[in-house]
Structure 1
């Protein structure tokens, strides 16, 4: 299934994408694509529905029908740093011996086609395409062999980052990761049954039509089961939590010379089988 949330910001409704690419309303079945609606039992019930029996929503998703973030009421937005060896190389940093964890504030979360706002004082706003993992079953100290049983599905994430805030303004990376609009998420949450091999998905990102990032989940340093297990050693994972698994090379910071977003650019990105995003970057408000 491809689960989604549609409608105006703050008033999104749950839906699913049918075989023709149209949205079917799930409001009569679940209150939101969030929390317990992502549990294994709930997903099993949703999978048994006939999409044709659900009301069809007017409009074409990502054209004249706005999509919100594919997960509502996200509890934790956990990010993994330097999880592609070639990205670590372009950043001039060693490959980590264990996953680097940082956080993206949930107030950063927006829809897959919403605008990205350059924050006030920014000089190094950057892009990062990432595979998102959505938790469906709660757990702590999860065994790696059981980790995928805790995963509801996957999505596309743009881990927008302000590098000066992140690296030069003291403290942790979080400062440059959680600005408002820095978390475009979606367009849809794709359940595991639709993905043949999560470790072999092509991914890409363009800025104004120019290809900047080309990668594959095949080169993840720490794979999804390990990340789920590892994160659960430091926090309980709850339904609707999101883990953003790192980015391949090609970020603005790694360009020669570095290249950043200042406003007016169009950022387009996608992962095979998980959909695409397209966002307009708005200049900082002075």
Structure 2
């Protein structure tokens, strides 16, 4: 909270900043890698010496909220690529008022919960806290007691703003990208004003970015098997399964019913909906 407070007061956005925003465990690592590869494709045209092969995406696209107090270094090259899990209304005024671009990724709340439960238990382990059972974690999730606030208000904050300012915020769904990654890589590039040329498309540049940023490729890299990003949390914890529909292996019928009702109640009338797929 202290760091976020400092960020709100001190952070000065630039009009060409690019911010990758998300609720935790929604496909953030993947989108950060894709955005970095798109924006920097002229600097690193050779895939063999690409920064994504030797650095975790969270190092290349750092979280703004983890950069305060000011003992961390902001990216010096422009456009600056930054990440955040902060809800839209809590962003610094300079981000909201500037022309910087925000790409927001969300994921169906069933899979998000399972991924978050696994991940935050790793965090608790590091902090020497006992792991939460799935029942305890589910109760908290349903009540919105989770880092960065209730998932429904987080999604809706960015979603509603994207309707008002479609040139500023692009909403992406994890499941949609998985289904047609080529289409969405092109869409992200266009939104960020880094569209692919006809020549790049013919030369397979989009496909090489997709391969470079794929879950299988990133999970297999040495840097993502061993290194550490934040507060002792290991890089490997950011790469679990990247599945759609894996939640069915964990949910009881009553849990399924409860979360379905919450989704219906909270997202009703917003226009935001999710296909709940089974793996």
TM-score of the two chains, using structure 1 as the length reference: 0.27
Whichever structure has more strand as a proportion of its residues is 1
TM-score of the two chains, using structure 2 as the length reference: 0.27
Whichever structure has more helix as a proportion of its residues is 2
